[in-house]
């Protein structure tokens, strides 16, 4: 089987049109048709239902497409590994991370680890927590970093950072007397922007309702959009300090002190079992950095602790007891 046939098949399946596939591949349309016919002859099945202006995958074509994608990915990974060996880059580490981790703590973790592994080749995939878990389980990433605990028997998970949650408000938010407004006044004058973090909002909303009564809310699923809305005076929110630090330093939002108990936002590292040495080294370096900077309090398992056995995840949701074994 010619690998070019697989690439042509994949692009034709995506385009559902041999002419557009030829344009993408910089081939002639007859060459695309020839690749597909030869692949069909090799497999002994028809992969496309040919129509006047478009083509569609047959049931056999849809099934084979999944295998073709995996084959091409494996070929690309193998080719990249051989190039690394040729160029002296003997180590590679694939990260799958949540957007909030990617834009806050990840750069300094990577920079610190790269000093110890100067010839390391990185890849970073930004995705939500379910997609991070899937990439780990499918062998498409070595380390996952997420803002919610992943629960799967084939994943070793540990909390590596605890980030205080703070109340943020527009920089010019004031009470009736012109003084900086407190939580009570802010809840009366601004909607509360919620559900921008996967862990703490349900408990926090119950606690706030018990203390302050009915609350006007606006559900905003992204932290960065939430920050922009707060800057524009569209609401207030409770956010991890690391996510809001830049805007606080710029003075475009302000932190509001509150006597209400606030949760902690956690970051978790997840590795596929059995744990690979390089992935383990990076995870422990992250935990060590967090411990040295005070972001991982005493009582949490440090970088020297063993990974929890199967069936023991990183602990319950935020607010649970100590983590790990």
Instruction: Specify the residue for token string 């697989």.
Output: 6
DSSP letter assigned to residue 222? -
Same domain as 273, residue 154: yes
DSSP letter assigned to residue 119? T
Q: Which distant-in-sequence residues (6+ apart) come within 8 Å of 274 by Cβ?
A: none
pLDDT at res. 176: 57
In a domain? residue 16: yes
pTM of the model: 0.67
pLDDT at res. 144: 97
| Sign of torsion over alpha carbons 94, 269, 276, 154 | negative
- Bridge partners, 156 (sequence order): 271
The rounded distance, in Å, linking the Cα atoms of 137 and 270 is 10
pLDDT at res. 254: 94
CB 178 within 8 A of CB 168: no
- What is the chain's pLDDT, residue by residue, as a tens digit (325 residues)? 788 888 898 899 988 888 898 999 999 999 999 999 999 999 999 999 887 677 889 999 899 998 888 888 778 877 877 776 676 656 789 999 999 999 999 999 999 999 988 888 899 999 999 999 999 999 999 999 999 999 999 999 999 999 999 999 999 886 556 567 789 889 999 999 999 999 899 999 999 999 999 999 999 999 999 999 999 999 999 999 999 999 999 999 999 999 888 999 999 999 999 999 999 999 999 988 888 877 766 556 555 566 766 655 444 333 332 222 2
pLDDT at res. 322: 26
- Bridge partners, 266 (sequence order): 162
pLDDT at res. 75: 82
Q: Read off φ and ψ for residue 180, nearest 5 degrees.
A: -55, 130
Same domain as 235, residue 273: no
In a domain? residue 195: yes
The rounded distance, in Å, linking the Cα atoms of 298 and 312 is 20
In a domain? residue 304: no
Number of domains in the chain: 3
Structural domain that includes position 234: 164-264
- CB crowding 87-102: b at 16 or more within 10 Å, else e: eeeeeebbbbbbebbb
**Residue 213 maps to which CATH number?**
3.40.190.290
The rounded distance, in Å, linking the Cα atoms of 144 and 127 is 10
Same domain as 176, residue 57: no
The rounded distance, in Å, linking the Cα atoms of 143 and 97 is 8
Same domain as 204, residue 69: no
For the record, the structure tokens of 250 come out as 């710029």
pLDDT at res. 79: 80
Which contiguous run of DSSP H or E holds residue 56? strand 55-57
In a domain? residue 97: yes
Q: Where is the domain boundary, 63, 86, 109?
A: 86
CB 9 within 8 A of CB 20: no
């Amino acid at each position: 089987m010619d690998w070019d046939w697989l690439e042509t098949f994949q692009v034709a399946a995506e385009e559902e049109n041999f002419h557009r596939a030829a344009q993408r591949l910089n081939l002639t349309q007859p060459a695309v048709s020839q690749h597909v016919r030869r692949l069909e002859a090799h497999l002994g099945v028809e992969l496309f239902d040919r129509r006047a202006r478009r083509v569609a995958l047959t049931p056999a074509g849809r099934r084979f497409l999944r295998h073709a994608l995996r084959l091409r990915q494996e070929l690309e990974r193998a080719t990249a590994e051989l190039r690394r060996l040729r160029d002296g880059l003997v180590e590679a580490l694939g990260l799958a991370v949540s957007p909030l981790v990617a834009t806050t703590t990840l750069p300094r973790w990577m920079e610190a680890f790269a000093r110890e592994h100067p010839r390391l080749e990185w890849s970073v995939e930004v995705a939500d927590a379910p997609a991070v878990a899937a990439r780990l389980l499918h062998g498409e990433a070595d380390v996952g970093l997420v803002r919610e605990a992943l629960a799967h028997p084939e994943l070793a998970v540990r909390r590596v950072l605890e980030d205080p949650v703070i109340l943020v408000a527009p920089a010019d938010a004031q009470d009736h007397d012109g003084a900086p407004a407190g939580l009570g006044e802010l809840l009366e004058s601004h909607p509360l922007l919620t559900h921008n973090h996967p862990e703490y909002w349900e408990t926090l909303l119950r606690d706030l309702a018990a203390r302050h009564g009915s609350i006007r809310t606006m559900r905003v699923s992204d932290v960065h959009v939430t920050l922009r809305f707060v800057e524009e005076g569209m609401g207030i929110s409770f956010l991890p300090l690391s996510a809001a630090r830049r805007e606080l330093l710029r003075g475009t939002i302000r932190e509001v002190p509150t006597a209400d108990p606030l949760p902690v936002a956690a970051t978790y590292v997840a590795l596929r079992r059995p744990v690979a040495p390089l992935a383990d080294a990076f995870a422990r370096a992250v935990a060590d950095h967090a411990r040295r900077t005070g972001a991982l309090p005493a009582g949490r398992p440090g970088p020297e602790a063993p990974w929890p056995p199967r069936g023991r995840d990183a602990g319950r949701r935020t607010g649970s007891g100590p983590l790990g074994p």
